[in-house]
C-alpha cells in the first residue's frame, strides 16, 4: 500500500486553494508552481548523521510532481468544477514562467504541509 501524499488530491479538497483559483492570474501562478518543481511533504526532522547516511545511499524522501500538461489539466479541472469554466490544459500550458513559485502559492502549500524544491531559480 502506497502511503505517499498526493498534492493534487489535497488541492481539490482545500477550500482556500479552490477560492484562490477563482482568479485566473492566481490560477496561472498555481500552474507555474506545479511545473518543474518537486513538492515534498513536511516530515519530522531526522538527526544529521541519518541524513548523511541516507544521502550517501542515494535515498531521497518521496516527492510529488507532474508534467506541464498535467498541471494545466489539474488547474482547469478545479476551475471547471467550482467556477463553471470550460477550460482545458491548453489555457495554462506554456503560459510562461513555469517553475516559479510565488509567495502566495508557497504560503498556501506550506500551510497544507508541502515545501518546494525548484529545478532552477529565476
pLDDT in tens, 8-25: 999 999 999 999 999 999
In 3D, which of 39, 49, 36, 32 has the Cα closest to residue 8? 39
Q: Which residue has the higher pLDDT, 44 or 115?
A: 115
Share of the chain above pLDDT 90, in %: 75
H or E element, residue 28: helix 24-34
Looking at every residue in the chain, the average pLDDT score rounds to: 91
Question: Which set of grid coordinates corresponds to residue 37?
Answer: 518543481
pLDDT of 37 > 60? The answer is yes
Cβ contacts of 59 within 8 Å, gap of 6 or more: none
Which pTM was predicted?
Answer: 0.86
What lies within 8 Å, CB to CB, of 5 at 6+ separation is 41, 64, 113
What is the model's pLDDT at position 3?
60
Q: Measured on CA atoms in the order 61, 66, 72, 76, is the torsion positive or negative?
A: negative
Confidence of residue 102 (pLDDT cuts 50, 70, 90): very high
Amino acid at each position: 500500500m502506497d502511503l505517499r501524499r498526493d498534492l493534487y488530491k489535497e488541492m481539490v479538497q482545500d477550500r482556500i486553494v479552490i477560492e484562490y483559483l477563482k482568479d485566473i492570474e492566481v490560477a496561472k501562478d498555481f500552474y507555474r508552481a506545479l511545473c518543474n518543481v518537486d513538492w515534498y511533504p513536511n516530515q519530522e526532522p531526522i538527526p544529521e548523521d541519518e541524513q548523511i547516511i541516507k544521502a550517501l545511499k542515494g535515498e531521497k524522501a518521496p516527492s510529488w510532481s507532474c508534467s506541464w500538461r498535467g498541471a494545466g489539466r489539474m488547474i482547469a479541472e478545479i476551475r471547471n468544477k467550482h467556477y463553471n469554466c470550460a477550460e482545458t490544459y491548453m489555457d495554462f500550458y506554456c503560459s510562461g514562467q513555469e517553475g516559479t513559485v510565488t509567495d502566495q502559492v508557497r504560503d498556501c502549500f506550506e500551510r497544507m504541509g508541502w515545501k518546494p524544491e525548484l529545478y532552477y531559480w529565476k
